[in-house]
Amino acid sequence: MSERPLYGMPMAVLASNNPYVLGQPNLFGDAPTKFTFVSDNPEFTKCWYEGLRAAVLRSTETHLPKGKTTWILHVVRLGFASPSADKEKCPIVLQLIVYLKIDDINEFPDSLASDLVDDLGKLIMMYWDGEEKVYVDVCGRYVFPGSSVGKVCSASGPAERCVDQSMNYARLYHDGNGRLPLPGSSIGIDGFVGTLTGYVKHRLPSGKSELFALTCRHVGDQKGNIGEGGLAKGQTITVSSPQPGDHMETKHAIAMRVQRLNQETKDLETKKKPSTTFGSIVNKIVSVIAPSNYVELFWLGAQRAAEKYKIELGPVYAASSTKTIAPDWLLVSIDPARAIRLKFLNQHFHSTEFDHGSGFKDPSARSCFSTENLIRVDWHWEEIFPTHRTLHQGPLLASDIVFKQPSRTTQKWVASKVNDIESILKPTNESDRTISQVCLVALDLKSSHRLAGTKQGDAGAMIFDGGFHPVAMISGSGLKMDANSSITNVNYLSEVYEDIEEVLGWKRGSVRWC
């Protein structure tokens, strides 16, 4: 079974017992689009965690080739319409995505996928006696040789793979090298990129503090050069923000904007009339519709400042262990001289200026907030660069609404709903253990469908609750980025901090949010 276009997602369905697994092309022959929703069945969630989960893991690990296969399992609703339209055709599905190298494709024949679907289907019937039917999709996502998580263009590579950061960086360029990049900014080294999570400080026994930028490991250590506890003596890896390729693309975009504004001004100048009564009226109209001097000067200033802007953020200090894929983190040392206003470091881009059509402003989003939170939202956006609050305490609950800040690739606020069941990841380099991660399903508040929440380059972006308290960061595993793009897997910031302290031998509680 390999009807990839009719499956509605960029992967091949290898086997399935779901009668609604494939859709139909539209009138123009275009492939259908499959949508993802939270599982939203408390009884099945209870059944899952009380026994079905363990049985599914045993069966999956028995069938899949050990040591050669990376896979991720989501338990969500999948359909070509929303559950409110037809719940039967948007059932709960165990979506098992297997990442297959082209060279090893014979290691996973269709017969193996069919056997796995049959076995998992029997387990569901054995453990689950609820009225709602639950199905299994086993899908293949093919990985080509040489592909790597987080990889983008190099400074001399194809610009189309880099991302224009001008809406985020124009004001920072203006401020010169004094202001540190805001959380959500592009960050990386030549060839690899991610999103700057934010700034943390480590309180030393002496009472003084060290300042670090936090992001994902692959951003500065794509080859696993950083050992346990930090870099080898004499080794230096300098991380930039924006990432070098993005910086080049951003400068090009700003130059094109300035050129366009100049041309628009010249074109309108030619339309001015002689100094008559009629001419003065026309000239006033032209002045109103012409690009304002402020706008043109702003972008011209940004263009000049960008040429002088030092993109080097700092050297890598330490990274998470190569033996685990989560929590996933990297610390970049920050020169204290650049941290002029410590409590204002963790700000973020303004909704109305940098995110047209943000979920916060959409009327349909109002039902996601209490009256108290609505007032808090309005107050929050009164600032030019709103500041994040203290960390969210405790775990996220099923169906909680959370938000992803504007990030490197998806430069807008994305609302998501917390899925009832966590995703399970089994990386190749960890053949003896699986990893559970919080599963967020993107929620398009302008319609009933859930759309893409994150893309490559968004790893590291911060997730926060409706009260603007940071709670998690997007995982750098990268496995979901090119498969089910409606799903985002995250690591709790509190767990990341604890792992930093454990790996570096620091005192518990000494790592804090700035």
- DSSP letters, 279-343, are HHHHHHHHHHHSPPHHHHHHHHHHHHHHHH---EEEEEEEE--TT-SSS--EEEE--GGG-SSGG
Lowest mean pLDDT among 5-9, 360-364, 383-387, 404-408: 360-364
In the chain, count of helices (H) and strands (E)?
Answer: 11, 20
- 346 has a pLDDT exceeding 50: yes
6 pLDDT more than 90: no
Are 33 and 392 in contact, with CB atoms under 8 Å apart?
A: no
Q: What angle do CA 349, 354, 357 make, to 5 degrees?
A: 120
Domain borders along the chain are: 1-147
Q: How far apart are CA 461 and CA 11, in angstroms?
A: 25
| Count of beta carbons in the 10 Å neighbourhood of residue 58 | 12
What single-letter DSSP state applies at residue 39? -
The pLDDT assigned to 129 comes to 95
Report the range out of 32-36, 220-224, 345-349, 435-439 with the highest average pLDDT.
435-439
Encode burial over 305-320: b for 16+ CB neighbours within 10 A, e otherwise.
bbeebebebbbbbbbb
Give the span between the Cα atoms of 62 and 79, in whole angstroms. Answer: 29
- Residue 262 to residue 245: CA distance in whole angstroms: 26
Predicted local distance difference test score (pLDDT) of residue 154:
37
**Nearest residue to 75 via CA among 449, 438, 423, 490:** 423
| Residue 419 tokens, joined | 């899925």
Confidence check: pLDDT of 211 > 50: yes
Q: How confident is the model at residue 157 (pLDDT cuts 50, 70, 90)?
A: very low
pLDDT in tens, 28-43: 667 788 889 999 999 9
Structure tokens at 207: 């009472």
- Mean per-residue pLDDT for 249-270? 80
Max avg pLDDT among 215-219, 267-271, 324-328, 445-449: 215-219
Give residue 506's pLDDT: 95
pTM of the shown model = 0.83
- The three-state secondary structure class of 238 is strand
Residue 54: pLDDT band (50, 70, 90) is: very high
Torsion angle (degrees, nearest 10) of CA 413, 397, 54, 88? -70
97 - beta bridge partners? Answer: 72, 139
Q: What is the Cα–Cα distance from 204 to 360, expressed in whole angstroms?
A: 39
Nearest to 95, CA basis, from 67, 65, 74, 71 = 74
Higher model confidence: residue 279 or residue 171? 171
pLDDT tens track for 169-199: 677 777 766 678 888 889 999 888 899 999 9
pLDDT at 42: 96
| Mean of pLDDT values over 439-467 | 72
What is the rounded radius of gyration, in angstroms, for the C-alpha atoms of the chain? Answer: 25
AA identity, residue 378: D
Helix-helix angle 244-269:166-174, to 10 degrees: 90
Residue 300: the pLDDT is 83
CB atoms within 10 A of CB 434: 15
**Predicted confidence band of residue 357 (pLDDT cuts 50, 70, 90):** very low
Which of 68-77, 89-98, 292-301 has the weakest average pLDDT?
292-301
Give the total residue count for the chain. Answer: 514
Q: Are 249 and 323 in contact (CB under 8 A)?
A: no
Of residues 347 and 115, which shows the higher confidence score? 115
Query: Would you call 62 exposed, middle or buried from its count of C-beta atoms within 10 A (0-12, 13-18, 19+)?
Result: exposed
Q: Is residue 426 within 8 Å of 56, Cβ to Cβ? A: no
- Considering only CA atoms, which of 186, 119, 489, 170 is closest in space to residue 326? 489
The Cα–Cα gap between 19 and 431 comes to 33
Res 372: pLDDT? 60
**CB neighbourhood size of 172 (10 A):** 22
Which pLDDT value is given to residue 514?
81
Express as a percent the part of the chain with pLDDT over 90: 30
Higher pLDDT, 354 or 166: 166
